[in-house]
Amino acid sequence: MIEKLTKEQEVQLPIYRDKWLKIGLCTDRVDWKVCKFISDYYYKNIAMKPIVPVVILSSPLYAWYAVCLFNQVGNQVGNQVWNQVGNQVWNQVRNQV
């Protein structure tokens, strides 16, 4: 466990702070190819899962809209499938009894 920073580490603190503040406050457009590469690398090599599609939207607000839309569509499709399968199974059971 680290209990105290060395003098060299303390000198580096403002450099790293400024670096990550600059990254965190950056509003430049993202490079789609870089995002796709990072996402694919993560899924394939770190998460050990199949690569998934990458969706890049122009703002956090549009991203929130997309999440809500996907969630709503997913729920609607899930409910439709559940009802349809449930009705088919119920009809089969009822016809056999």
In the chain, domain spans? 57-97
- Name the residue among 24, 51, 48 with its Cα closest to residue 40: 51
Strands of 16-84, DSSP E: none
pLDDT the model gives residue 18: 97
Give the chain's mean pLDDT: 87
Whether the pLDDT of residue 4 is over 80: the answer is yes
DSSP letter for 2, please: -
Q: How far is CA 38 from CA 8, 33, 42, 51, in A?
A: 32, 9, 6, 11
> Is-contact 49 43, C-beta < 8 A?
yes
77 vs 33 pLDDT, higher one: 33
Whether the pLDDT of residue 96 is over 80: the answer is no
H/E run at residue 43:
none
What would the pLDDT profile of 11-30 be if each residue is shown by its tens digit? 999 999 999 999 999 988 88
